[in-house]
Structure 1
Amino acid sequence: MSPDLALGTYRCRNIPQATVHAIACGATWIDTAPNYHHGRAQPQLQSVLAGNLDLRVSTKAGFFTPDIATAARDAGVLTPAEAASGHCLTHRYVAWQSRRNATELGRTPDLVFVHNPERAARPHDAIAGAFTALEVEARAGRIGSYGVATWTGFEGAFSVADLLDIATRCGGPGHHLAAVQLPVSLVMLKPVAQALDGTGPLAEATAAGLNTFISAPLHGGELPAMVTDELAQLIDPGTTPADAALLVTVSTPGVNHVILGAGRAQHWQAAQRVLALPPLPAKTLHEVVDVLGA
């Protein structure tokens, strides 16, 4: 089964317009966060979500804007030092932010990611505090489930097995840990190499029944200019650099949802065409990994 597309709102300049294009091309998820688009991403999604009840939404807790920091300090859930840091995963803050997310979105989030816990001084302790808060929210029906969104966390700070262990300690065998989010691209190739060997976060998440959300498949839009014609032809003869780069990500074993921050209709249509292509064989993915030295 091929992955599906999700709209990522981190880099979107016109979120409502991007959402229209994403839905038209089959996107089933929107991924956002309270700090995205200078804190304006979630409120901009409210009318879109109200008019598309089948569209699922994931958001996050961890990073915050100065305005959110002020509100959280006034609510007594951030200390001055925590507010100055721009990132917090304490139990009290995560619970408060999760409820604020729902208010801004105008609906119950399907999924709340603990955002970049590798930034914490003690990542495992930070994850445990956040998971404890999110278990309460999930059992109360205020969120659907939770997960971890990371950039470098799976490179040594924690593993999928660690996350499952922490979730079980915080929520028992019926815990609500449901997903992980991580970057996979021609720039971030290590998860591809690991998945081909049946190891690493994608393989571990799949084995545990967790959903995988892939961020930055085109590395913030920079990859098409970085892919040479020779590399594109190695990946899929006759394809464009952008399509070749995306095809590697969507062909990687264990990928469920691919998050794109595209704002233009033609970019979504191109992504839709890539997803309709047969996945690359493992032999080709191995060749790409070998050529790029992942």
Structure 2
Amino acid sequence: MSAQLAAGTYRCRDVSRSVAAAVDAGVTWIDTAPNYGSGSAETELRPVLDACPQVRVSTKVGFVPDSDRRAARDAGVLPDDHDRGHCLARPYIAWQLARSRTRLGRAPDLVFVHNPEHGRTDRTDLSRTLAEAFVELENAADTAEIGGYGVASWAGLSSGMFTVSELTALAATVGGPHHHFRAVQFPVSLIHLAVVAEALDGYGALAEAREAGLEVFASAPLGGGELLGAMTEELVRFINPEASPAQAALLVALSAPGVSRVLLSASTPAHWADARGAAACAPLSPDRLRRVVDVLGT
């Protein structure tokens, strides 16, 4: 099945407006986090989610929003030795999940452990931390407080702090054969082509996720907007001569083997119409993707 567009809310200046435009464009999945929108993203999403019960939503646990810090301390779930702006202690996860459900007005379909590599350099310590987080998330899934869980990482996979296969094995150890580990999220773009090159050769994060039956959410497909300025006419023509610069960049993520959803933070109906044009294009063939990798490198 071809990858689908989903609405990301990272760096959105106006979450409500951006997500409303996305839903009007036919998007059926929204990804957010408690620390997005200066801590207000989940609350701003609720009116859209209330009006559109068919839209699914994912959020995250890990980063401690400045706006929540005092409340977390008062609740006794943010010990001083965990307070680095990031916390995966079980009491904090349970507290944050309850807060997210209230703000969203529903149980999230997915909850991602957000950048678990943050501030950590020891793989063994990280594995222990993830195991504890997975225990709490399995409990939440067993009681229908969340639909399932996953890991969203910026550099954990590319740096070798963990692999998708290790995450899946850890989930099986914690939750058994019927665990609720459902998805991974990481960058896939013209800036992050190594993961695409690996997938074309049958290994790496995308290949492991596909083998495990996980959904893959591709983040930062436009490089946080940086790619748009780097999309020369020659590069656009090389990818797809009929595409706009944004469409050509999006096509790489949409065509990457194993990608399920491509997260886009677009603020206007015109931006979403352009993105829909990319999703309507035929995916780039493996041969074309290989040529893109060969030309641009990894």
Displacement over 6 Å in runs of 4+:
none
C-alpha displacement of 1:239? 2.5
Matching residue of 2:186: 182
Is 1:111 aligned to residue 110 of structure 2?
Answer: yes
Match of 1:191 among 188, 195, 202: 195
What amino acid is the match of 2:116? P
Matching residue of 2:27: 27
How many residue pairs end up in the alignment?
293
User: What's the TM-score, normalizing by structure 1?
Assistant: 0.97
Unmatched segments (≥5 aa) in structure 1: none
Match of 2:173 among 160, 169, 174: 169
SS of 2:185's equivalent in the other structure is strand
- Alpha-carbon distance in 2 for matches of 1:5, 1:239: 16
Check whether the contact 2:15–2:37 (CA below 8 A) recurs between aligned residues: no
- Alpha-carbon distance in 1 for matches of 2:222, 2:79: 37
- Alpha-carbon distance in 2 for matches of 1:278, 1:86: 42
User: What's the TM-score, normalizing by structure 2?
Assistant: 0.96
SS of 2:157's equivalent in the other structure is helix
Match of 1:233 among 219, 233, 237: 237
- Alpha-carbon distance in 1 for matches of 2:96, 2:119: 17
Is 1:271 aligned to residue 275 of structure 2?
Answer: yes
Map 1:54-69 to 2 at 5 A: 54-69=54-69
- Alpha-carbon distance in 2 for matches of 1:267, 1:198: 34
What amino acid is the match of 1:266? A
Matching residue of 2:11: 11
Task: Calculate percent identity across the aligned residue pairs.
Answer: 52
Check whether the contact 1:5–1:26 (CA below 8 A) recurs between aligned residues: no
- Alpha-carbon distance in 2 for matches of 1:241, 1:66: 36
C-alpha displacement of 1:120? 4.7
Q: CA deviation digits over 1:130-153, x for unaligned, max 9?
A: 101000100011000000000111
SS of 2:241's equivalent in the other structure is coil
Unmatched segments (≥5 aa) in structure 2: none
Check whether the contact 1:62–1:115 (CA below 8 A) recurs between aligned residues: yes
Which stretch of the first structure deviates more once superposed, 252-261 or 64-73?
Answer: 64-73
CA RMSD of aligned residues (A): 1.1
Is 1:140 aligned to residue 143 of structure 2?
Answer: yes
Is 1:280 aligned to residue 284 of structure 2?
Answer: yes
Is 1:200 aligned to residue 204 of structure 2?
Answer: yes
Match of 1:126 among 115, 126, 129: 129
SS of 1:239's equivalent in the other structure is coil
What amino acid is the match of 2:149? Y
C-alpha displacement of 1:166? 0.9
